[in-house]
Structure 1
């Protein structure tokens, strides 16, 4: 049989960014030799980007670790899985027993949300460990959105997304979806959706200090001064009140705090913010009027408006504008997705609400947000002696030495730990400090379900792919690695890893049968557990979540979970979802029958099941203590004077912003030759006028200096960046000794976060200020 005859195809959802596109992989033997878009995927319909196209190259990267590494005599050496977990138990348990659970810090990186195991097991690990020292990529990225949503709606995960397919007007801030493919807004072919918006006569307004690919596509581009998004949004809000354009529409009866907000926002007139934002007052007024006049509009802000000094205020004002223009929770505006593994909707009414600062970090007293402390605070928590000092780190798919401020300090701190375990496919800038490295298998050998991203999807849908390639003999599935880690931490080292899944299933079913609103109320949990299907623990857990979820079969309960939930949700929304599951346009539909969703039903639809367009979910989605949208919550009111003071600040002569590349996602894709090439370069972009003033020449080297340090970097003179601003991509700096990433090390670039000392944070969310901070730039002779 020829080599070609042996080729087969398999489906796989792409795990390389938030767009979650369906791929068709070509496989020869156990190697992925090609990847193209799956035209029959109910969500992505064939869309693919360079990252997805390079799936095989990333999957087969020879630098990926195959076996565990254990530090012996100061050196990381290959070891068996049993030796590795023995070392983990011996390293962690005595520290927990002697110093308590807070002696262990847990660090979760961005790739966790791109794997099934990364969603299912860290919560169990944290429950088992009970440490307050949790640090995640969220405080380098999206935490301001979680905090503002928590304060407004009562839940940190109630995040409305723009209804891209139906909107007439999109105001986009600090986001570049033509390069990033979207973020906290899961949309396959985001570029195509923006082009479709313009084709149907809609308007796209982009606010960004750089003329990005997204800005070039826009009807209007406002080159704002970095870090001033919150001032611009406050002025837009002020105009809506001043010109009597504020009209929440049907949300009126669900909103508290309108009058207090009107009063508090009064000083932020377009004239007052114009100089700080560098946008003329008349332009600001026009934007506000057009936003209010559009038949349906959405405001959407991302990284550029989150990783700045006023990140939470900016994210809050994004939703304030959606509320005041009557566009929140309506088609064409910003809506709350309903994922298949969400809890089935409950009756509307007051909830527990969202609290900030339930505890504080030990050294600098940073308040927790969503159970997390700022990633920027890890180093001081390790270095500072005393009760509660972090002595061990469990790092899951994280590389904070590159992704957090002041990596040099953190690198030194990690080297001084009593123990560190890293779950990572690479020996990177962070995992090289570990005592034990546990490598998960490549994505082709892993099942995939997007727990996180279906919750931010612009259309409700559900898709699952089993491993495209069987797990090789010498590897452990990521779910087993993380389950064994849970057991080692919990003092159950050596128990069967399946015990972890069984424990979660038992406790979930026990709660469900005791809950009067559950479709399985009063039933026997053992009988229900016996009905679960799936080849693995994670599949059984997925089956459980689907069946108890909003579209689930409720384990055969009459009408399924739908009917049990209907009391608390709008009937039309549920029926709309039902119809679209039974059959819809684009050949997306499927016969749902009376049974509802389960793993078995999902497996019968390998290209996914379309669950219909987003529907209105207020008031049912609200979990505030009042059961209403709390428009002007106390923590926001307390922080607003800080924004007012910014009106009088003198702008720094030069500030730095990051940038995204289509071929890159943070620090973990620079080892793939195809992706580490072309325009994906670590250069300092400088405007021609600034270059002339500073004596910088295209292609020459400049020294960049800021709070935390300095480095030299090649200059790229371009008018795509505005005056007073320079730009560097993030995730670079692959030049530390002891890593095993040959391609990345060959063109290491510089680590932009090394310019920061970690002292600049958004106070409400603890998010590091990675954009809009002052720098000095000078030529290097």
Structure 2
């Protein structure tokens, strides 16, 4: 028990490699960065070092399947009973009325790879996840402009631009804090931060464009207009690679830069200087995050920020944007135009990358529409807490004919379920992350269990396999021959598997479970959950032959087998592709960049005609609901003891606003929005602009307490947010722009 065991942090998308020293009782006695991890190289932030609070902290751990009794309490049932009853009830419902939510959080993805088979087995068509609260607008814009998603090379860029992002806390790329400090110390490099908050990243920046909340589209449009009006764009590069320049040029030439800067609340000279710095740089890396993706004009902002780096030719060279390889893509979008492509059955909301907008889920349920969602399968997610307007979401979940939750702990959503199916923690099972965006050397990390799971829970692939089998969709006699072929060898198995799918194409939809039941038992160390990666590895080799070959796996079918074997046998992670920068162009498949997206360019052209927003006496503040801070991450750690600071999750407010209201540090006030009111503790800080207040994410969860039973720490932000406040294109929520007011609590109240 005294060995260091490799794994990964699960608190953000980077999933940095860690090593864990496990004590005799299963405690994580020490945690350190894994120097052998091919992306993080031993780096980790302060959050990962307290992961014992996830594995062994105070939480209401689930260990047996539960069924809700008529009186609302839960009773334990056997796995056989739970699976049989769930399958029976699902088969009674129209498949299109079954809705799937989840599929993995950070570093918890293998289960989601098997959920597709369960959906197909029961005829389910609609799904969503947390990505539809954040990234779908960006996915859609990228698909329409370039045909593929991109990421940014901050490690090598001359100029780094962060739009609504504080990577010092939210990370988002390897070694984030170290890279930020390197840029900040190098006089030849510059950092531009667009954020109303003076974040830790903004403090390192050369240019902090401290905008008024919700005016990002004006500021970014002004910056793009400076590039056009001062003739700073890369004409030759654009002529070679892009279409639509003249319409974009004409629109931006008409922009009143000074007026837009005034609306955004940033000095025009500073905006022009930042824009010129972008134009003069040999390489510019740009990224956006939740500060704009959960804000007004989010999809249009995603469009305009891309214009900044496309107009200056910052693609496919070191230090700019690139198109990455991806062993297991988490989302792909076809780039349908407005008014085209699939929509949700009741609200008619645009479905992007296969995901229904989260903000319409309750609306899709709380109706008498014949196509309403009537059942939900929720996996590794907590929509009763994490989605907008928690009260409405709770009502929707309670209105379902059937709610099934697969999770580790008794969450707010699990308490509303008809059946709760327990799963091991992320350190008790084989797991992986599908957030693999590195370049030129991309990686994949399959992780072994660090500690043994308790008796009772089943890993998600096993749960999905049992649900598929109980559906009757898997014909009898199919599994045994494939399993026998797998025992005889991988080559014979591959031939048998492909022959089966050729003869029975409909079984391809159940391929994950077929692989799990046949190839899975032959994998070493109980790694059956990794079976789904076999097919992914072979597809990956076909899509990325040059990068795979440079990474040392060879070519063709043998490369797929070598890559898969390396993934399964490498506890620290493996390099999957070693790309040249020209690979970006190959992945774009000869497509020219589309600068003119008519709907969004029309929005940009119409900005000058929008009436300026007047102050609202009833709601004088803009609340950002869900700020990332030093000891907040996702909500996977329910035990509040992991936080060393800001135990209650204070409301941050500008000192001038606090003084006007007579509030000091530690005072309490009532925070109100159109959806509700809560009591908060106040922290005046000059990090905040006047009129702007913020609550941290990760709070408002309850945990068991031996003295008082169940205790809630801090404020659940979605008790204050509205599902109607959402982007008109992608449906993403406006969590960072919630109208609010603050009322001091007088003594004795």
**1:557 aligned partner:** none
The superposition leaves residues 442-479 of structure 1 with CA deviations (integer Å, 9 ceiling, x where unpaired) of: 2222112222x113668422332222334444331221
Q: Deviation of residue 113 (structure 1)?
A: 4.8
1:282–1:701 distance in 2 versus 1, CA, 3 Å = same
Matched, 1:732 2:699: yes
User: Secondary structure at 1:620's aligned position in 2?
Assistant: helix
Matched, 1:107 2:101: yes
Moved more, 272-281 or 594-603: 594-603
Matched, 1:124 2:117: yes
Moved more, 499-508 or 14-23: 499-508
User: Secondary structure at 1:226's aligned position in 2?
Assistant: coil
Matched, 1:669 2:658: no
Q: Structure 1 CA distance, aligned partners of 2:245 and 2:185? A: 36
Q: Structure 1 CA distance, aligned partners of 2:201 and 2:231? A: 32
Q: Deviation of residue 90 (structure 1)?
A: 2.7
Unaligned 5+ runs, structure 1: 1-5, 344-350, 515-524, 555-560, 567-573, 583-592
Matched, 1:774 2:739: yes
Contact conserved, 1:338 with 1:460, CA < 8 A, in 2? Answer: yes
Q: Structure 1 CA distance, aligned partners of 2:133 and 2:207? A: 29
Contact conserved, 1:233 with 1:317, CA < 8 A, in 2? Answer: yes
Q: Structure 1 CA distance, aligned partners of 2:11 and 2:465? A: 24
Q: Deviation of residue 498 (structure 1)?
A: 9.9
Contact conserved, 2:216 with 2:264, CA < 8 A, in 1? Answer: yes
Moved more, 392-401 or 746-755: 746-755
**1:700 aligned partner:** 667
1:268–1:125 distance in 2 versus 1, CA, 3 Å = farther
Q: Deviation of residue 490 (structure 1)?
A: 6.4
Q: Deviation of residue 777 (structure 1)?
A: 1.7
1:463–1:399 distance in 2 versus 1, CA, 3 Å = closer
The RMSD of aligned alpha carbons is: 3.5
**2:511 aligned partner:** none
1:388-467 superposed matches below 5 A: 388-451=371-434, 453-455=435-437, 459-467=441-449
**2:60 aligned partner:** 63
**2:713 aligned partner:** 748
User: Secondary structure at 1:364's aligned position in 2?
Assistant: coil
User: Secondary structure at 1:318's aligned position in 2?
Assistant: helix
Structure 2 counterpart of 1:173, from 163, 174, 186 = 163
**1:140 aligned partner:** 133
Contact conserved, 1:30 with 1:469, CA < 8 A, in 2? Answer: no
TM-score where L is the length of structure 2? 0.86
Q: Deviation of residue 483 (structure 1)?
A: 2.7
Matched, 1:12 2:1: no
1:311–1:468 distance in 2 versus 1, CA, 3 Å = same
1:410–1:163 distance in 2 versus 1, CA, 3 Å = same
Matched, 1:197 2:183: yes
The superposition leaves residues 744-763 of structure 1 with CA deviations (integer Å, 9 ceiling, x where unpaired) of: 95352122222223111111
Matched, 1:540 2:531: yes
Matched, 1:151 2:141: no
Q: Deviation of residue 298 (structure 1)?
A: 1.5
**1:285 aligned partner:** 272
Contact conserved, 1:87 with 1:436, CA < 8 A, in 2? Answer: no
Q: Structure 1 CA distance, aligned partners of 2:374 and 2:560? A: 51
1:101–1:335 distance in 2 versus 1, CA, 3 Å = same
Q: Deviation of residue 245 (structure 1)?
A: 0.8
Q: Structure 1 CA distance, aligned partners of 2:559 and 2:402? A: 53
Q: Structure 1 CA distance, aligned partners of 2:328 and 2:381? A: 25
TM-score where L is the length of structure 1? 0.83
User: Secondary structure at 2:642's aligned position in 1?
Assistant: coil
Contact conserved, 2:168 with 2:180, CA < 8 A, in 1? Answer: no
Q: Structure 2 CA distance, aligned partners of 1:630 and 1:644? A: 24
**2:598 aligned partner:** 634
**2:204 aligned partner:** 217
Length, aligned pairs only: 708
1:249-264 superposed matches below 5 A: 250=237, 252-264=239-251
**1:51 aligned partner:** 47
Q: Structure 1 CA distance, aligned partners of 2:123 and 2:408? A: 26
Contact conserved, 1:107 with 1:134, CA < 8 A, in 2? Answer: yes
Matched, 1:648 2:612: yes
Q: Deviation of residue 532 (structure 1)?
A: 11
The superposition leaves residues 498-517 of structure 1 with CA deviations (integer Å, 9 ceiling, x where unpaired) of: 99999998999479999xxx
Structure 1 counterpart of 2:19, from 21, 24, 27 = 24
Q: Structure 2 CA distance, aligned partners of 1:153 and 1:482? A: 36
Matched, 1:41 2:60: no
1:218-233 superposed matches below 5 A: 218-233=205-220
**1:622 aligned partner:** 588
**1:590 aligned partner:** none
Contact conserved, 1:162 with 1:332, CA < 8 A, in 2? Answer: yes
**1:520 aligned partner:** none
